[in-house]
Chain A
Amino acid sequence: MPSLGATYGRGAATLPQWDVANADAILIMGSNMAESHPIAYRFVLQAKQKGATVMHADPRFTRTSAMADLYAPVRAGSDIAFLGGIIRHILENDLWFREYALHYTNLATIIDERFRGADELDGVFSGWDEEGRRYVYDSWQYEGMTVPSSLAEHHVNTTESFNDETKRLSHAPVPQDLTLEHPNCVYRIMRRHYARYTPEMVERVTGCPADVFLKVCEALTRNSGRERTATICYAVGWTHHSTGVQIIRAAAIIQALLGNVGRPGGGILALRGHTSIQGSTDIPTLYNMLPGYLPMPHAYKPHDTLKDYLEIEETPTGWWSNFPKYAVSLFRAWYGDAATPGNDWGYDWLPRIVGDHSQLPLTLAVRDGIIKGLFVMGQNPVVGSSNAGMVRRGLANLEWMVVRDFTETETAAFWHHGDARPQDIATEVFLMPCTFAGEKAGSFTNTHRLVQWHDAVVEGPGDSRSELWFMHHLALRVKALYAGSTDPKDAPVRHLTWDYPVRGPKQEPDAEAVLKEINGYTWASDPAERRQIADFKDLKDDGSTACGCWIYCGAFPADDHNKTRDRTPDGPDGPGTHLNWAFAWPSNRRTLNNRASADPDGKPWSERKRLLWWDAEQERWTGHDEPDFPEEKPPHFEPDWDSKPTGMDAITGNDPFIMIADGKASLFVPSGLKDGPLPTHYEPLESPVPNPLYKQQGNPTAKRWEHDDNELHPIGDPAHPYVLTTYRLTEHHSGGAPTRSVPTTAELQPEGFAEIPPELAAELGITTLDWVVLETARGAIETRALVTERLRPFVIDGRRVHQIGMPWHYGWHGYATGDIANVLTACVGDPNTSMHENKALTCALRKGRLAR
């Protein structure tokens, strides 16, 4: 979530789920929380019982809407218009939390005089390079100083961090005008930028009636301030757009303006999908990062030597100035004694990325035969990937594929389904049975950064094995094959440390030994002499510490203490932060940026919303949570600018956003995002209407992989007149394998379907249970119709627009089957994350069946 990273410094949910129960208002948008995260929704209902106002803004009326006080219908893909309208309402009516926003955000910061906004340039910002389809970011910087981005998830390096301008961050405080009169201060820029997002415009773009929209604004602002806090919850309904990052940015701006971040019952709760999606981002099975959000070395960035890499990526001020310690400790963990100061700790052995190696280009590289061998572990891209038909056909170009799952998935079966001709497909396929939590021990990281251990209680059946077993024994075999090699290319394989103890007849590696390495220890060649490190403050850049993922430091703080296994909740009279229930990164802090729960003097904003405060006697921060701030830095600390301070010395005592170079939440983001410093409404890449707000139709920087099997529909295409949005069901999980193959969940939702509004059904003569065909330029599928008022037509800019909804879990395997919705979707992506746009596209619909 680069949006939260760019705004608050870390790309993760800011509050624990149970804290939602302390909110006074909750806006759920981009999420059908009641159905997709049902147990988390309990906290929304608990808040409601205590009097909170619950609001749901969504294209579909769902169970979440049914339980809410207020439902705001919005057309799929129009979220920024809605949220931009809220920002305008807050600014124009002076409803922002003045003391919080003035001190804790960059609202008063002055931006370069060359900056021009989308309001002036009809939908693009200054620096637009039409030919290169990209921005030059100079004019987005602070006056006279370049601000490096926080190294948060998927951060985009838009500036070189440690150049002469960024060094100026160490010379003086950032340029501010606390009177907010300066025409180029962020406050003035935002007023101009959002002026056109009036309630009438919101209605025109989103289809939400202006009076309903104003009720949402009113409830949100009434329940924010010293005494009250509001939470915003979102899920993939926001991320799955070509503007996904900026949608979440808009919410982050609202929460910072209203002073809701870092406080009890306030913040942004990102509701993520898979059990350890957060963990697999922190310890990334992702191409562009190393564990702990360190950037992957890039061939076309000045990353040649370790010195270059560290200099360019280290931010001079703020917490990220510790970056070299985390990088060197990681290399020590990976290359052990082979890592020496003389060989840059093995830095040169790391592969360099050369571009976008994310999921969508990966599937295209499979299709194009660039990728020859593919591992698929617990994922089902033939159902879950955009343009799934193209993905399935592409797999036939692989030389070999290893699928590790518990049952035959559609991906494993690609070579013998539908139009596939096995005799023409040369791919060697291995389908290997895996085990589940309960059959293996290990930890998952949940949506609010909570790392929880699970035990092995029984053995998996037959030859099933954990991925830990698979990786361990594969690595040993491959290392053995390379053991005698003197080729320099094989050095990293040979030097990679791999001394995990194994247990039992199956030789299962000890998962706790791996977590110990992730947590970090003092380095010693002999494992018996290593000592666990309890806090990342003790990590060093001199090779004396090894650490697999610095933000997990504290998860295994002592040889005999696996904190992720702690299971003591607070009692009913306890503080409710549950510090002894498992471990939350970083350093067991439950609410991020919790310094902001106290005022600039270090006192709680109100008794009702106490979390952390400055204890003047003890001279330290204290409270119900672990401080996300240097424990002993007093609230009135001012940097000594004459000494050219770096790191945390350049952060004042009232800058709660310590991962950001200037310690303040970035309402305006000078660096780190490719598509603009402020969220701007663009239409989805496939839209039934022209953009009512600007001449610029779609996100100008969005990724399109244009190809004849990945075509897009033109704007307002009469052949594809309906908006299609894909979604999830309570009873099924993502690509569907783990629920379609389970009798109970399959019985509850046995067959695929599409939801169609009654008005459209009447026009096309469709009734419930009829077969219908949905079609896009990418493919066609058939399914059953479910005619329902949960979807309603919108009037957008004077035109009537129908929406269709379809769950995307189904495939042809398991007990519950249906056509694959992703056959309809396209490979297009958000410029920052390459996230697809499966929540808003256009399609054709007719009654009938496909000729097969």
Chain B
Amino acid sequence: MTRRTIADRARGFLREWSIPRQIAGQSHRDEAARSSLSRDLRPRLEEADTVGTGICPYCAVGCAQRLYARDGRLIHVEGDPRSPINQGTLCPKGAATFGLLTSPQRLQHVLYRAPHADRWEVKPLDWAMDRIAALVKRTRDETFVRELPDGTRVNHTLGLASLGGATLDNEENYLIKKFFSGGLGMVWIENQARV
């Protein structure tokens, strides 16, 4: 390691010090404000290899976002300056979107709790999907009603229910309604519209 002399350090300090450069006529807003530290700073977004258009997942104002990623990892979320709704701004919730997607409390795997068990166990996704499909069929077959005792046609099951949708995409709501209602004959289908 080379030791810098006092004179070196003084010269370095004078080079970094803004006042002499301002006296020399440089603007405190740009040239004179620079230092070796700020010269080496790079915007985080420069590292991004992907940027996409997002919409805030919280409230229905519908603020637009930009999502930046590098190597498949999210690195930044900010308000989209083009949006006529938010013009680049976000409220504390919208600004927490990055924290939401990267929350340490996010689940990675399917958790399963067997009847009467006192703990969760990790299960493979495929196993869970097969098991749920079998339960859906079993409950539907047990509870499906074609006609009421008075002969009224109902073609439904009251044994299956679904809650949620207001946080989901239109396309997801569509598949939920189509499959649960138009396919399985479920009538208990509700979301947060009444919450």
Selected contact of A730 from candidates B91, B106, B167, CB within 8 Å: B91
Would B187 and A475 count as touching, CB distance under 8 A? Answer: no
Would B96 and A299 count as touching, CB distance under 8 A? Answer: no
Give the shortest distance, in Å, between B129 (CB) and chain A (any CB).
Answer: 6
* B-chain residues with CB within 8 Å of residue A402 when the two chains form the complex: 132
Would B174 and A437 count as touching, CB distance under 8 A? Answer: no
* B-chain residues with CB within 8 Å of residue A552 when the two chains form the complex: 170
Docked Cα-Cα span, A279 to B157, in Å, equals 25
* B-chain residues with CB within 8 Å of residue A253 when the two chains form the complex: none
Would A408 and B107 count as touching, CB distance under 8 A? Answer: yes
Give the shortest distance, in Å, between A580 (CB) and chain B (any CB).
Answer: 10
Would B191 and A371 count as touching, CB distance under 8 A? Answer: no
Assuming the contacts A277-B60, A352-B154, asked whether A835 and B194 have C-beta atoms less than 8 A apart, the reply is yes
Would A280 and B108 count as touching, CB distance under 8 A? Answer: no
Docked Cα-Cα span, A422 to B58, in Å, equals 33
Q: Which residue of B lies closest to A466 (CB)?
A: B172
Q: Which residue of A lies closest to B167 (CB)?
A: A378
**B61 contacts chain A at the CB level, 8 A cutoff:** yes
User: Given A283-B170, A287-B187, A447-B61, 13 more contacts at CB 8 Å?
Assistant: A271-B60, A371-B161, A377-B164, A377-B168, A378-B167, A428-B115, A454-B52, A457-B52, A462-B109, A471-B175, A489-B155, A514-B171, A745-B99
B contact residues, range: 35 or more
Give the shortest distance, in Å, between B66 (CB) and chain A (any CB).
Answer: 9
Identify which of B1-9, B21-29, B136-144 touches chain A: B136-144
**A751 contacts chain B at the CB level, 8 A cutoff:** no
Assuming the contacts A399-B139, A455-B67, asked whether A496 and B183 have C-beta atoms less than 8 A apart, the reply is yes
Would A351 and B60 count as touching, CB distance under 8 A? Answer: no
Would B187 and A351 count as touching, CB distance under 8 A? Answer: yes
Docked Cα-Cα span, A370 to B160, in Å, equals 9
Docked Cα-Cα span, A456 to B54, in Å, equals 8
Docked Cα-Cα span, A745 to B124, in Å, equals 32
Give the shortest distance, in Å, between A610 (CB) and chain B (any CB).
Answer: 19
* B-chain residues with CB within 8 Å of residue A276 when the two chains form the complex: 60, 165-170, 173
Would B174 and A291 count as touching, CB distance under 8 A? Answer: yes
Would A351 and B185 count as touching, CB distance under 8 A? Answer: yes
* A-chain residues with CB within 8 Å of residue B185 when the two chains form the complex: 349-351, 489, 492
Would B133 and A477 count as touching, CB distance under 8 A? Answer: yes
Would B100 and A436 count as touching, CB distance under 8 A? Answer: yes
Would A365 and B161 count as touching, CB distance under 8 A? Answer: yes
Total CB contacts across the A-B interface at under 8 A: 500
Give the shortest distance, in Å, between A837 (CB) and chain B (any CB).
Answer: 12
**A7 contacts chain B at the CB level, 8 A cutoff:** no
Would B175 and A39 count as touching, CB distance under 8 A? Answer: no
* A-chain residues with CB within 8 Å of residue B80 when the two chains form the complex: 567
Interface flags, A249-281, vs B, CB<8A=1, else 0: 000000000000000000000011111111111
Docked Cα-Cα span, A280 to B175, in Å, equals 11
* B-chain residues with CB within 8 Å of residue A581 when the two chains form the complex: 83-84
Selected contact of A492 from candidates B68, B85, B175, B182, CB within 8 Å: B182
Docked Cα-Cα span, A733 to B93, in Å, equals 8
Q: Which residue of B lies closest to A412 (CB)?
A: B111
Docked Cα-Cα span, A83 to B120, in Å, equals 52
Would A515 and B170 count as touching, CB distance under 8 A? Answer: yes
Would A458 and B69 count as touching, CB distance under 8 A? Answer: yes
Docked Cα-Cα span, A52 to B97, in Å, equals 33
Give the shortest distance, in Å, between B48 (CB) and chain A (any CB).
Answer: 10
**B110 contacts chain A at the CB level, 8 A cutoff:** yes
Q: For residues 373 through 416 of chain A, which have their beta carbon under 8 Å from a beta carbon of chain B?
A: 373-379, 381, 384-385, 399-400, 402, 404-408, 412, 415-416
Assuming the contacts A276-B166, A277-B192, A455-B52, asked whether A730 and B105 have C-beta atoms less than 8 A apart, the reply is no
Would A423 and B116 count as touching, CB distance under 8 A? Answer: yes
Docked Cα-Cα span, A451 to B173, in Å, equals 14
Q: Which residue of B lies closest to A422 (CB)?
A: B118
Docked Cα-Cα span, A514 to B172, in Å, equals 9
Would B169 and A437 count as touching, CB distance under 8 A? Answer: yes
Give the shortest distance, in Å, between A529 (CB) and chain B (any CB).
Answer: 22
Identify which of A218-226, A354-362, A773-781 touches chain B: A354-362
**B152 contacts chain A at the CB level, 8 A cutoff:** yes
Would A299 and B191 count as touching, CB distance under 8 A? Answer: no
Assuming the contacts A277-B193, A422-B116, A463-B125, asked whether A371 and B188 have C-beta atoms less than 8 A apart, the reply is yes
**B178 contacts chain A at the CB level, 8 A cutoff:** yes
Docked Cα-Cα span, A42 to B61, in Å, equals 11
Assuming the contacts A275-B60, A471-B175, A565-B53, asked whether A351 and B154 have C-beta atoms less than 8 A apart, the reply is yes
Would A447 and B60 count as touching, CB distance under 8 A? Answer: yes
Top 3 closest A-B pairs, CB basis?
Answer: A446-B62, A442-B169, A462-B108
* A-chain residues with CB within 8 Å of residue B18 when the two chains form the complex: none
Selected contact of B195 from candidates A278, A384, A423, A515, CB within 8 Å: A384
Docked Cα-Cα span, A375 to B186, in Å, equals 11
From B125, B131, B169, name the one whose CB has the most chain A CB atoms within 10 angstroms.
B169
**A645 contacts chain B at the CB level, 8 A cutoff:** no
Docked Cα-Cα span, A275 to B100, in Å, equals 15
Would A438 and B67 count as touching, CB distance under 8 A? Answer: yes
* A-chain residues with CB within 8 Å of residue B72 when the two chains form the complex: 458-459
Give the shortest distance, in Å, between A155 (CB) and chain B (any CB).
Answer: 14
* A-chain residues with CB within 8 Å of residue B85 when the two chains form the complex: 17-18, 39-40, 446, 450
Give the shortest distance, in Å, between A646 (CB) and chain B (any CB).
Answer: 30
Docked Cα-Cα span, A280 to B103, in Å, equals 26
* A-chain residues with CB within 8 Å of residue B169 when the two chains form the complex: 276, 279, 437, 440, 442-444, 454, 466-468, 511
**A833 contacts chain B at the CB level, 8 A cutoff:** yes
Docked Cα-Cα span, A274 to B166, in Å, equals 6
Would A377 and B163 count as touching, CB distance under 8 A? Answer: yes
Q: Which residue of B lies closest to A450 (CB)?
A: B62
Docked Cα-Cα span, A385 to B129, in Å, equals 28
Identify which of A123-131, A139-147, A736-744 touches chain B: A736-744
Q: Which residue of B lies closest to A378 (CB)?
A: B167
Docked Cα-Cα span, A431 to B52, in Å, equals 29
Would B190 and A274 count as touching, CB distance under 8 A? Answer: no
Give the shortest distance, in Å, between A194 (CB) and chain B (any CB).
Answer: 29
9 contacting pairs across A/B (C-beta < 8 A):
A284-B173, A285-B164, A286-B193, A351-B185, A438-B74, A477-B133, A489-B144, A496-B183, A744-B99
Would A376 and B163 count as touching, CB distance under 8 A? Answer: yes
Selected contact of B172 from candidates A272, A371, A442, A456, CB within 8 Å: A442
Give the shortest distance, in Å, between A355 (CB) and chain B (any CB).
Answer: 9
Would A358 and B194 count as touching, CB distance under 8 A? Answer: yes
* A-chain residues with CB within 8 Å of residue B114 when the two chains form the complex: 428
Give the shortest distance, in Å, between B44 (CB) and chain A (any CB).
Answer: 15
Give the shortest distance, in Å, between B65 (CB) and chain A (any CB).
Answer: 8
Would A291 and B186 count as touching, CB distance under 8 A? Answer: no
Give the shortest distance, in Å, between B38 (CB) and chain A (any CB).
Answer: 26
Give the shortest distance, in Å, between B124 (CB) and chain A (any CB).
Answer: 8
Give the shortest distance, in Å, between A569 (CB) and chain B (any CB).
Answer: 4
**A323 contacts chain B at the CB level, 8 A cutoff:** no
Interface flags, B30-53, vs A, CB<8A=1, else 0: 000000000000000000001111
**A433 contacts chain B at the CB level, 8 A cutoff:** yes
Would B60 and A433 count as touching, CB distance under 8 A? Answer: no
Q: Which residue of A lies closest to B186 (CB)?
A: A351
Q: Which residue of B lies closest to A13 (CB)?
A: B60
**A671 contacts chain B at the CB level, 8 A cutoff:** no
From B125, B130, B131, B194, name the one whose CB has the most chain A CB atoms within 10 angstroms.
B194
* B-chain residues with CB within 8 Å of residue A548 when the two chains form the complex: 174, 178
**A372 contacts chain B at the CB level, 8 A cutoff:** yes
Would A432 and B190 count as touching, CB distance under 8 A? Answer: no
Give the shortest distance, in Å, between B50 (CB) and chain A (any CB).
Answer: 6
Q: Which residue of A lies closest to B172 (CB)?
A: A467
